[in-house]
Amino acid sequence: MHAGRSLRRVKRTLAPSILLVALLAAGCSGANEAGVTSEPGATSATSLSSTSGAPGDGIAIGGTDLPEGWPADLPAYPGGTVLSATVLDGGETVNATWSSDDPADTAWATVDSALRAKGFVPVSELGEESQFIQDDTQTTDTYRSDTYEVNMVVVAGEQTTIFLNASRLG
């Protein structure tokens, strides 16, 4: 896969999570007509069906539960709070954003290990150009298995933020 195509896929899969995180960060409170509260620090997860109508689509905000249709071969961040998670197009596009009190290097190692345990490999280990980027604020890399390509981003801050964006292959 070419880097340009991969970047477009990451932008497409990251957009729903960014929107939900932005709404949460803006301090929206109360419940919408589906009963989903967007109160910062909410402790329970709420799942609802996507408006796309595809079977298995879902959204989760807050708490620790992932939405209906979350693929079994994609890991969750243990002990993190789900800021937003979406399953779109019957699992063709999946993304989640967690926050955690864990240090960024611990979060990175945890997700890297979980991805590898489920058969994911960094694309650089597959002979492709490395997608690994690391600086003082974030670390990012692209992984691939037989079923999904995953972009992982871990951002250091007061709370560590973990982004996992996946697109089904084939």
pLDDT value, residue 23? 38
Which tens digits make up the pLDDT trace of 107-150? 999 999 999 999 999 999 999 999 999 999 999 999 999 999 99
**pLDDT under 50 in the chain at which residues?**
1-3, 5-52
pLDDT value, residue 12? 46
d(CA 13, CA 6): 11
Domain ranges across the chain: 3-28+46-168
